[in-house]
Amino acid sequence: MPPATITDQPSGAEARRSGWRTIKRVAPYLWSDTHPWVKPRVIWALVMLVVARLISVYTPFLYADAVDVLAGEVDPARWLAIGAVGLTVAYGMARAMSVGFTQLRDMIFARVGQRALRQLALETFEHIHALSLRYHITRKTGGLSRIIERGVKGVEFLLRFMLFSIGPLVLELLMIGVVLAVIFDIWYFVVVAVTIAIYIWFTFKVTEWRVKIRKQMNDQDTDANQKAIDSLLNFETVKYFGAEKREAARYDSAMAGYEDAAIRTAYSLGYLNFGQSVIITVGLVIVMVMAAMGVERGDLTVGDFVMVNAYMIQITLPLNFLGTVYREIRQALVDMGEMFDLLGQPADVVDRDGARELDCPRGEVEFDNVEFGYDPARPILKGLSFKVGAGETVALVGPSGSGKSTIGRLLFRFYDVDGGAVRIDGQDLRDVTQESLHARIGVVPQDTVLFNDTIRYNIAYGRPEASFAEIEAAAKAAKIDRFIKSLPEGYETAVGERGLKLSGGEKQRVGIARTLLKDPPILLLDEATSALDTETEQEIQEELKMMGQGRSVITIAHRLSTVVHADRIIVLEAGQIAEHGTHEALLEADGRYASMWVRQASEREDAA
């Protein structure tokens, strides 16, 4: 049976189990053993909750007594000290105190709730970064961000309404039920209990139906959001192909599905609200008729009639609210379930128990009989073996699909090998911590992607604790310091989203400066200049050559002209080494490399 995806929608008994599972996941954040201040705050919040409900349930007694005093149905001596006016003032004060204790409860609990939200959001964010590259290339960023956003909002809603709306409501209903049974008659309690039971049954049934519609609406919302983000991230491509109307139509198609689901959601809400209103009204009328008959018989006073009415209104208002709250809680549980499913996604690459720091005194890299495939049915590397000596520059060339970029991903341990081993200074990468491994490898990719921040921030990303003098020195070594200082805001210039305000060459130089600041013993150049024009490429090649001095360098290249000075060139073919040697030796061998060289030389001549 295939595993459920994080967007699967549980239903029926499975949905209830999923809801309880989600509540159990949230509970430790509200009763924390690691933060000693949490439990006292929760206890005091619950005390304020009980006090507020007690005052709320007692308030109608004051109202009833005031009415009876005014109607002359009680002994005036009983309330001689304060009279009807005093009772009215006491009634107002009781209502104010009920609200006051409720707000005090919220204030006490606020820090607990916000800490839980922050901790959950941070855990989800960290977990997403811990997931493997394999997971991220199959997911859409817009969908992930939406799941996190809705999940955290769901937790906030659950804390606010389930704890401080449903809980207080249940407590108040129990208290009012006891008052009606003891002060009036057990049949009052029976009518109220039956009304509430029918109301809850109807609400749950209709809401389960509505949740399915809401799920469809959420799916359409996520789909539209993904299309919007995807289109905006590829803004230039859209412009290149004049595809604005096509993208708008694609987005509008997703929004049309959302519109249809939203309309059905609105219709179902009308049905729910009307049904709830009918049930509550029938129960209210029955109880008020019973009280009116009691007054006519002389069993009850006018104040008692008013008190029954006050209690029924007190029940009716939150019950009307309960419909909306239950629906939102049900949806919040779905949203939180998706977020917790995301947290439950296992990482393909994890540190072993007892993994040690990578010790890298020389920077020697070895691929020992490595076998690997993204799909088990389609292997990429087939028993690949080679070494990069300390301070040596080795170039990897070959046609697309030969496994060049895969080697870089395995070296950085984005994936674990299926067979064989990758070692640095004799240490298997699976036996060392990922953090220490990443700290010792510097990567300059084909397209350097920058954060939407300042140039200074982007260079300092290589080593955040670096001083400004060190940042400036790295920029000078990358031959970009002069350009930066020519800008009006210098190093504080914002580069725009993904660095779009800079040219390709400028972005690559910032990337080089960032890696120089990191100062790693091993350098991976993954087609670092293939996206640049020839003139810019030649300029940056000089910086890259200087950058590689004293380091072990693996250069993944498409253009052979960029690797002629490598100590050794490895030609890959279908995940295996076809030939290797220096540029001159490979040309003399007149093999695969020589034919590639001749073809690219002829392409350069044609271009010239």
Between 174 and 605, whose confidence is greater?
174
- How far is it, in rounded angstroms, from Cα 408 to Cα 424? 13
- pLDDT tens readout for residues 360-378: 888 899 999 999 988 878 8
Q: If you search the block for the tokens 């209502």, which residue do you land on?
A: 95
Q: Please say whether the dihedral angle defined by the alpha carbons of residues 242, 246, 251 and 256, taken in this order, is positive or negative.
A: positive
pLDDT recorded at residue 10 = 45
Confidence check: pLDDT of 81 > 60: no
Q: Of 504, 515, 427, 425, which is closest to residue 471 (Cα–Cα)?
A: 515
Confidence check: pLDDT of 75 > 80: no
Domains in the chain, CATH or no CATH each = 18-343 (1.20.1560.10), 351-440+520-608 (3.40.50.300), 447-519 (3.40.50.300)
Lowest-confidence region among 329-338, 509-518, 563-572: 329-338
Identify the band that residue 533 occupies on the pLDDT scale cut at 50, 70 and 90: low
Identify the band that residue 136 occupies on the pLDDT scale cut at 50, 70 and 90: low
Q: Specify burial of residue 129 (Cβ count, 10 A radius: 0-12, 13-18, 19+).
A: exposed
- How far is it, in rounded angstroms, from Cα 501 to Cα 210? 47
- How far is it, in rounded angstroms, from Cα 360 to Cα 431? 14
Q: Specify burial of residue 212 (Cβ count, 10 A radius: 0-12, 13-18, 19+).
A: middle
H or E element, residue 388: strand 381-388
The CA-to-CA distance between both ends of the chain, in Å, stands at 59
pLDDT recorded at residue 8 = 40
pLDDT recorded at residue 568 = 92
Count of residues for the chain? 608
pLDDT above 90 covers a percentage of the chain that reads: 10
- Spatial strand order of the sheet with 576-581 comes to 441-444, 522-526, 552-556, 393-397, 568-573, 576-581
H or E element, residue 394: strand 393-397
Q: What is the mean pLDDT of the chain?
A: 80
pLDDT recorded at residue 115 = 81
